A and B are shown apart, each in its own frame.
Chain A
Amino acid sequence: QVQLKESGPGLVQPSQTLSLTCTVSGFSLMDYSVHWVRQPPGKGLEWMGRMKYDGDTYYNSALKSRLSISRDTSKSQVFLKMNSLQTEDTAIYYCTRENVMDAWGQGASVTVSS
């Protein structure tokens, strides 16, 4: 059974760094890519970046200077780090599988506030 689960802090201070983990099961990170997508409250979906099955990464140019995606295949985990957080980064952050995005995590709610 394919599953993805996001975890991380619910509250981050402005200007600080967000760290999220996506733990997957039911498939291998060496066979499938994982994407990060976020959704601000009451708004639409924004693609953030991708960790490809071969370890290659690709980022949304709007976030590229602040964003880093990495992984630990032995733990079936993909990591998102984004620095210099502002209130507009308040959102639900999802990880999802492959370009078809056929499986999603339940989302991690992140609030940027002092």
Chain B
Amino acid sequence: DIVMTQGVLPNPVPSGESASITCRSSKSLVYKDGKTYLNWFLQRPGQSPQLLTYWMSTRASGVSDRFSGSGSGTYFTLKISRVRAEDAGVYYCQQVREYPLTFGSGTKLEIK
């Protein structure tokens, strides 16, 4: 199984600052079609996860351009610019390159 390892944030992050969340995979997530099969989600307290980006860097419909995904085949970053109170929650990366699909353990973002 592909293991997803997420980094920790130096919480709390001051409102208006930027935050970068890291994620590493144990195997390349680049498929033969050239796409990188990595999703990012935000789960706010008491809510279902919400898709932020897919194919590593494509923002989901309705997601603010303050969220941007980047990376290589095995190392990924989700950058949140000008953080706001509504960005607080747990962020998960997920690989959908192969089955079984696997998630990182989550990175908590707190806003000051």
B-chain residues with CB within 8 Å of residue A35 when the two chains form the complex: 101
Rounded to whole Å, the gap between the CB of B88 and the closest CB of chain A is 17
Annotate A11-51 by CB proximity to B: 1 below 8 A, 0 otherwise: 00000000000000000000000010100000011110010
Q: Is A104 an interface residue (CB 8 A)?
A: yes
User: Of B43, B51, B94, which is within 8 A of A102 by CB?
Assistant: B51
Q: Which of chain A's residues 47-71 have a Cβ closer than 8 Å to chain B?
A: 47, 50, 58, 60-62
B48 pairs with A104, CB closer than 8 A: yes
Query: What is the predominant secondary structure among interface residues of chain B facing chain A?
Result: loop
A-chain residues with CB within 8 Å of residue B50 when the two chains form the complex: 104
Q: Which of chain B's residues 76-111 have a Cβ closer than 8 Å to chain A?
A: 92, 94, 96, 99-106
Once A45-B49, A94-B48 are accepted as A-B contacts, the answer to whether A101 and B103 lie under 8 Å apart by CB is no
* Count of CB-CB pairs between chains A and B under 8 Å: 51
Rounded to whole Å, the gap between the CB of A15 and the closest CB of chain B is 25
Report how far A96 CA is from B54 CA in the complex, Å. Answer: 15
Q: Is A106 an interface residue (CB 8 A)?
A: yes
A99 pairs with B51, CB closer than 8 A: no
A-chain residues with CB within 8 Å of residue B61 when the two chains form the complex: 102
B-chain residues with CB within 8 Å of residue A100 when the two chains form the complex: 39, 51, 54, 60, 96
Taking residues whose C-beta sits less than 8 angstroms from the other chain, chain B's interface range is 20 to 34
B94 pairs with A101, CB closer than 8 A: yes
Q: Is B41 an interface residue (CB 8 A)?
A: yes
User: Of A46, A60, A99, A104, which is within 8 A of B49 by CB?
Assistant: A104
A44 pairs with B92, CB closer than 8 A: yes
Chain A interface residues (CB < 8 Å from chain B): 35, 37, 44-47, 50, 58, 60-62, 94, 96, 99-102, 104-107
A and B contact pairs by CB, cutoff 8 A, 24 listed: A44-B104, A45-B41, A45-B49, A45-B94, A45-B103, A47-B94, A47-B100, A47-B101, A47-B103, A50-B99, A58-B99, A60-B100, A61-B100, A94-B48, A100-B60, A101-B39, A101-B41, A101-B51, A102-B51, A102-B54, A102-B61, A104-B50, A106-B48, A107-B48
Please give me the 4 A-B residue pairs with the lowest Cβ-Cβ distance, nearest first: A104-B48, A47-B101, A99-B96, A100-B54
